[in-house]
Amino acid sequence: MTTADIGRLDGLTYPTGMAFMAGQYMPMSEARISVLDWGLLHSDVTYDTVHVWNGKFFRLDLHLARFRRSLAKLRLHVSLSDDEIRDVLVQCVKRSGLRNAYVEMLCTRGISPTFSRDPREAINQFVAFAVPYGSVANARQLKEGLHLHVIDTVRRIPPESVDPQIKNYHWLDLVTALFEGYEAGAETVVIKDTGGNIAEGPGFNIFIVRQGELFTPEHGVLHGITRRTVFDLAATLSIPAHACDMSETELRGADEIFITSTAGGIMPVTKLNGTSIGDGKPGPLTRALFDAYWAKHDDPAWSLTVDYDAP
Ligand SMILES: *Cc1c(COP(=O)(O)O)cnc(C)c1O
């Protein structure tokens, strides 16, 4: 991603795009599920999100594998094979014409034909779609850094209650925290786990840099693919990286902070609870990882090129 690319993220109309459900492709505006679907009524659903940048999927195999693991843990059944899901996602992107896309696959518990309360009787529903690429951080925030707030009043749902490795829509903790963060003048938030350590934010993981080394929370958070990518990149750049508990004191004392998500990649944080981090600009390690991350989008080992002209 270059500065010019960042500019292109603004001013997009949402949601154009293409969806696949009930075995058919359709414009995004026509993709709808019933209000009786348990995906809505009980948040009984899992999903995964991958992005396409400059016409290439990034690390799609890792996202497919995580989606499979989430489905298995929730006993949800998708009749398509991995290759078939991959084809559906490619078709959604191709038919949308989008070169930069946010691509989602999801499976809801569905509806029981007899309205029984037994989840085994529901007919699971697979949906996929491609919409314009969206980012946690806007163009200015990607360049100058985000203003982040640590929220202390609401804790992340503990892993004993909902397994965070199952990508899920249980976001009431995160959304409640977001409103508090906005009231405090911040742009996004991070919340703690029930043990009082730093956990994650709405759809992103968090990293700090301290004396040239990387640290990120390990427990009670989704192990994001972007988080994993940071570990992979850190290894090639010979930057030591650690997954371990992180206290609020450690976060506040960081030399650099960044957040990671498929929706935005590696995004600098330059203000924490109103106080500047370092010199108030994105730090050197954050920038090096940012550049390495986007450069990797052209590596055939990590990407899948969409052939927009193929049938
Ligand atoms: C998706 C998500 C992330 C980031 O994961 P990526 O695979 O990097 O996109 C982090 N936390 C939560 C709760 C998420 O849903």
Tell whether the model's pLDDT for residue 247 goes beyond 90.
Answer: yes
pLDDT per residue as tens digits for the range 61-76: 999 999 999 999 999 9
Q: How far is the CA of 266 from the centre of ligand 1 (A)?
A: 12
Q: How confident is the model at residue 14 (pLDDT cuts 50, 70, 90)?
A: very low
Please indicate whether residue 204, judged by its CB atom, sits closer than 6 Å to ligand 1: yes
The ligand 1 atom nearest the CA atom of 225: 7
SS3 of the chain: the string is CCHHHHHHCCCCCCCCCEEEECCEEEEHHHCCCCCCCHHHHCCCEEEEEEEEECCEEECHHHHHHHHHHHHHHHCCCCCCCHHHHHHHHHHHHHHHCCCCEEEEEEEEEEECCCCCCCHHHCEEEEEEEEEECCCCCCHHHHHHCEEEEEEEEEECCCCCCCCCCCCCCCCHHHHHHHHHHHHCCCCEEEEECCCCCEEEECCEEEEEEECCEEEECCCCCCCCHHHHHHHHHHHHCCCCEEECCCCHHHHHCCCEEEEEECCCEEEEEEEECCEECCCCCCCHHHHHHHHHHHHHHHCCCCEEECCCCCC
Q: How far is the CA of 203 from the centre of ligand 1 (A)?
A: 5
Indicate which residue's Cα is closest to atom 6 of ligand 1.
224
Tell whether the model's pLDDT for residue 3 goes beyond 50.
Answer: no
* Per-residue pLDDT, 209: 98
Domains contained in the chain, CATH given: 3-132 (3.30.470.10), 139-297 (3.20.10.10)
Tell whether the model's pLDDT for residue 11 goes beyond 70.
Answer: no
Tell whether the model's pLDDT for residue 79 goes beyond 60.
Answer: yes
* Per-residue pLDDT, 1: 59
Q: Which of the listed residues 172, 261, 296 should we mutate to test ligand 1's pocket, taking the one with most ligand atoms within 8 A of CB? A: 261
pLDDT per residue as tens digits for the range 92-110: 999 999 999 999 999 999 9
Indicate which residue's Cα is closest to atom 1 of ligand 1.
203
* Per-residue pLDDT, 282: 97
pLDDT per residue as tens digits for the range 145-174: 999 999 999 999 999 999 999 999 999 999
The ligand 1 atom nearest the CA atom of 200: 11
